[in-house]
């Protein structure tokens, strides 16, 4: 409202000034402009000057208000980070993930299928996101946290040898999940989407801790053949659907089998941000600049137009003409 009030005030003041000026020049019009008076188009000058100054005032005040209301860079960055959504992948890096029984034809390794699923998710999500990857085997380690670039996530799943950073042993899925929950517990409330990718092959499951308030949604994605096992480390390893469903239920999440089909887009919820329609008109800032430009040009050209085209009567110096005649 401030730009409109300022423009209205200028409109009233300039209109009053133009009205007084018109009354005064009407008395001396024949002396100033000759017997024929001023050109007919000059009757529009008061209106043009009022419109120009009003438009210029509205543009200036609008830009000033936009500048004052815009947060500084540091505040904007802090607010942007605080409002960001955290998308955290919890990835199973145990040896069983390298068994070749995954994918639509059952010939991919589970790790390769996990990479495909993660890539399918990254290609569909957008918005103000911060990415994280937590890898687990016998231990659970944060690999990437608060990353803005999804390429860092792709690098983790593209053969980064994290298994060597963990002690040799059997996969402890329950402990890994609990540790992952601790790592995201300090994030802002409702800011985190956690996606757990595993075949469920583990030592007996430890009790799962309650889901922290920072997690808004949790998905458990199962990888590996859920019906036929592959032999490794003295036992048959397959996707333990019952175990994964129990983890999802304990954490108020949802379990999906993604061994031979990708995660549905609907399951990603508001992580999939539709592209905004292209802006077809001018923004408020552009309108303000345009109003300032037109108003300034109009008021700058009015004196020149009055000087050269305001009247047909030309004042001549008699003395100068007499000198030229001699």
Measured in Å, how far apart are the chain's first and last C-alpha atoms? 68
**Pairing state between β 140-147 and 129-136:** antiparallel
Average pLDDT over residues 109-129: 92
How far apart are alpha carbons 217 and 305 in whole angstroms? 68
Enter the tokens of residue 77. 């960055």
Q: Is 220 helix (H, G, I), strand (E, B) or coil?
A: strand
Give me the DSSP letters along 171-205: --HHHHHHHHHHHHTTSPTT-EEEEEEE----SSP
Q: Which of 87-101, 164-178, 206-220 has the lowest mean pLDDT?
A: 164-178
Is 278 within a domain?
no
**Pairing state between β 235-237 and 230-232:** antiparallel
Do residues 100 and 235 share a domain? yes
Do residues 96 and 174 share a domain? yes
The tally of domains found in the chain comes to: 2
Enter the tokens of residue 172. 């402890």
Which residue, 215, 235, 263, sits at the end of a domain? Answer: 263
Do residues 173 and 312 share a domain? no
Do residues 145 and 18 share a domain? no
pLDDT of res. 94: 87
* Residue-range definition of the domain harbouring residue 47: 2-70+283-325
Do residues 171 and 251 share a domain? yes
Do residues 169 and 232 share a domain? yes
How confident is the model over 218-252, as pLDDT tens digits?
A: 999 999 998 887 888 777 888 999 999 999 999 99
Do residues 234 and 163 share a domain? yes
pLDDT of res. 180: 92
Is 272 within a domain?
no
How far apart are alpha carbons 134 and 92 in whole angstroms? 9
Do residues 253 and 169 share a domain? yes
Do residues 57 and 155 share a domain? no
Does an H or E element contain 85, and which? strand 85-92
Do residues 313 and 225 share a domain? no
Give burial (CB, 10 Å; 0-12/13-18/19+) of 104.
exposed
pLDDT of res. 257: 94
Give me the DSSP letters along 196-240: EEE----SSPPPPPPPPTTEEEEEEEE-S-SSS-EEETTEEE---
Look at the block and give the residue holding tokens 């469920």.
Answer: 200
Q: Residue 56 pLDDT > 70, yes or no?
A: yes
312 or 222, higher pLDDT: 222
Instruction: pLDDT band for 275, please (50, 70, 90 cuts).
Output: low
Which domain CATH number covers 134? 3.40.50.410
Phi, psi of 197 (to 5 degrees): -115, 115
Do residues 256 and 291 share a domain? no
pLDDT of res. 236: 82
């Amino acid at each position: 409202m401030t730009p409109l009030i300022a423009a209205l005030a200028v409109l009233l003041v300039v209109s009053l000034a133009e009205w007084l000026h018109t009354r005064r020049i009407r008395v001396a019009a024949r002396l100033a402009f000759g017997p024929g008076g001023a050109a007919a188009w000059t009757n529009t000058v008061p209106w043009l000057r009022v419109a120009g100054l009003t438009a210029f005032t509205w543009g200036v005040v609008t830009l000033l208000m936009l500048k004052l209301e815009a947060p500084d860079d540091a505040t904007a960055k802090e607010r942007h980070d605080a409002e960001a959504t955290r998308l955290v992948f919890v990835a199973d890096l145990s040896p069983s993930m390298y068994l070749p029984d995954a994918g639509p034809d059952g010939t991919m390794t589970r790790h390769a299928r996990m990479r495909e699923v993660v890539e399918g998710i990254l290609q569909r999500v957008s918005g103000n996101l911060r990415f994280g990857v937590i890898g687990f085997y016998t231990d659970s380690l944060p690999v990437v946290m608060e990353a803005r670039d999804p390429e860092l996530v792709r690098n983790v799943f593209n053969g980064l040898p994290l298994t060597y950073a963990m002690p040799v042993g059997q996969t402890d899925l329950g402990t890994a999940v609990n540790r992952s929950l601790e790592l995201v517990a300090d994030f802002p409330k409702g800011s985190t989407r956690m996606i757990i990718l595993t075949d469920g092959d583990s030592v007996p499951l430890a009790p799962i801790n309650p889901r922290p308030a920072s997690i808004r949604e949790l998905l458990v994605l199962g990888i590996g053949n859920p019906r036929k096992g592959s032999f490794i480390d003295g036992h048959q390893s397959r996707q333990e659907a019952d175990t994964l469903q129990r983890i999802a239920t304990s954490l108020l999440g949802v379990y999906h089998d993604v061994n031979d089909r990708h995660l549905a887009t609907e399951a990603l919820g508001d992580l999939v941000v539709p592209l905004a329609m292209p802006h077809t008109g001018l923004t408020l800032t552009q309108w303000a600049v345009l109003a300032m430009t037109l108003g300034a040009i109009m008021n700058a050209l009015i004196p020149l137009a009055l000087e050269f085209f305001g009247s047909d009567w030309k004042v001549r110096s008699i003395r100068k003409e007499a000198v030229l005649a001699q």
